Each structure stands twice: as structure tokens, then as C-alpha cells.
Amino acid sequence: MATKNPSFSLDDFAKALDQHSYDLHKGQIVKGQVDSYTSDGAYIDIKGAKSPGFIPKKEISVIDVEDISEILPLKEERDFLIIREQNADGQILLSIRQLEIKQVWDDLIEIQNKGQSLQARVTGVNRGGVTVEVHSLRGFIPRSHLLEKDNLESLIEQSLSVTILELDVERNKIVLSQRLASQSLGFSQLEVGQLVEGKVMGVKPFGVFVDIEGVTGLIHIKEVSQKYVESLAELFPIGQMIKAMVISLDEGRHRISLSTRILENYPGEAVEKLSEVMESAEARAERAKKLINL
């Protein structure tokens, strides 16, 4: 006579569930949807979990959240990151904010690799430079990489165009440069054969450094005149405004080569009558373009 199988009660079923491994671990991305709201977060129904997970309000987004339901509508499925494994009650702690932060870091790495610029809002000042908010993360611009180096307080709440100098995900470190972003922008507006105007900012034995709206060009001593120049410092006082032709651009090295020599009507004119060369520079530039094969 066959024996009857013992009945499988609800308690037995619950015990079987408890023995089942769901393999939910910290750092795992899981699918879930809002089951209910609380004043400080929401309970999330997670696929494969024996009890709802919980997401604190501060972990819902990188931005401040007033109404949780605007970010997390009821029953709408989305991804969550497990930031704490199951406790004694089988509940896991979840985050969307940390998923968003990871995406921001991925975006910043891509921007850096492409050499692109981005916007950063100045939030504070310290002895070394300014702190900024960039794509919701905290960054830093050293004083040496700012265009305004003296009155840093005037920059607070301003949005600056910057490029990335250093990214360190493990140390949560973002270092930026406004100066290099300005140089890149300046390069994009220059071309060989263009007549530019700038201010003399430095004189060395080998040439003259000229500031052209935030980017620096060099007139090598051989490009000043067709004749030998005895004293560059006397010819080009610091702060003097001069005009010169762009004869070469090296964006990789941020080098702009300039020439006044090419504007001369005769050898030595830039040394003897620099002011006259400057006054008629526009007309001379048309002839000069042909000399650099444009």
C-alpha cells in the first residue's frame, strides 16, 4: 500500500525560500520599482530579493530632492546600486546617487580624453585657488590656472570654461584649468596669415612674448626684422600694443609664432620706423599673405 507524501505547508515554503541564495551583494546593480514611500526614503521591490530594499532620500539623486515621487514614480522600474548587503531582516540598502556619480566620472574621463572644455561654477575660495562644482562634483582650479589671479572672491558663483588637468576617481580629485581652456579657444580663432594685435608681456634675448586675448604668441628675434636687432627691450617696451602676422600654429604645444619682419617694405624698417609699420599693418598684411603661400 502506497504511503501518502507529507503535505508541504506554508512554513515549509518560507523555510525553503530562506535557504535559497539570491546572490545579492554590495556593488551589484539590480532592477527594482517603488513599492511605497516614507518620509526619509522609499521601499523598493527588487527582483530576486525576499524583502523590499530601502533607498534613503539622500541616495535618490545627486541633486537635492523635495518630492521623492518626482524622481521615483510608483511602480516604475529602474536600476539601483546595492550599497549595503542584506541585514538580519533580508533588507538591502540601495542608491541611485552613486550610479549617477559613476556616470559623471565616466563622462569626465571621456571629456578629458577628447580634450574638450566644460563649464564649472565657482563655489568657494582658498589660498591655492577656487573650488568649483563641475557636473555635480567638487573640483579645484589652482590660482596659476585662473585668468583672474588677484580678486578671487569676485569669481564666486561665476561659470568658467575649463579643461581637465587631473582626474583621480579613487581620491575623488578633479583639477581644472581656466587658462588652458582659454588658450584652446584662442587657438580655434587663429589661422596662419592672420594679422593680430596684442600686448608685449615679456622680452627675452631670443624673442618677444605677446598676449593676444589670453593666448601667448612669440616673435622670434629673427622674425622681428630683416636686419639685426640690437635691443629687443628698447624696441618693444613691456605693455606696448603691437600688430604682427601669424606665421605658424602648433596647437599641441600651444605655440603661436608671429612676425613683424614679414610686414616690412624694406630690410630694417621694423627697427627704424616700427610705428609706421604698425599704422599701415592692415594694408601690409594683404601683401604679406602671399609671402607665406596662402
pLDDT in tens, 188-245: 778 888 999 989 989 999 999 998 877 788 999 999 999 999 899 999 999 999 999 9
Dihedral sign computed on CA atoms, order 124, 146, 112, 174: negative
Q: What is residue 250's predicted lDDT score, i.e. its pLDDT? A: 81
Per DSSP, 222 falls in state: G
Please determine, looking at this structure, whether the domain spanning 114-183 carries the CATH number 3.40.225.10. Answer: no
pLDDT in tens, 257-277: 999 999 999 999 999 999 999
pLDDT in tens, 99-139: 999 999 999 999 999 888 899 999 999 989 999 999 989 99
Q: What is residue 17's predicted lDDT score, i.e. its pLDDT? A: 47
Single-letter code of the amino acid located at 129: G
pTM value is 0.59
Average pLDDT value over all residues in the chain? 86
Q: Please state, in angstroms and rounded to a whole number, the distance separating the CA atoms of residues 147 and 200.
A: 17
Q: Please state, in angstroms and rounded to a whole number, the distance separating the CA atoms of residues 148 and 143.
A: 8
Taking phi over 0 as left and psi of -120 to 50 as alpha, with beta for the rest, 254 belongs to: left
The CATH architecture one would assign to domain 28-95 is Beta Barrel (2.40)
Split at pLDDT 50, 70, 90, the class of 47 is confident
Total residue count of the chain as it appears in this document? 294
> If you average pLDDT over residues 12-23, what whole number do you get?
52
Q: What is residue 21's predicted lDDT score, i.e. its pLDDT? A: 44
Q: Which fold has domain 191-291?
A: OB fold (Dihydrolipoamide Acetyltransferase, E2P) (2.40.50)
Residues of the chain with CATH 2.40.50.140: 28-95, 114-183, 191-291
| C-alpha dist (Å) from residue 94 to 1, 76, 196 | 55, 16, 57
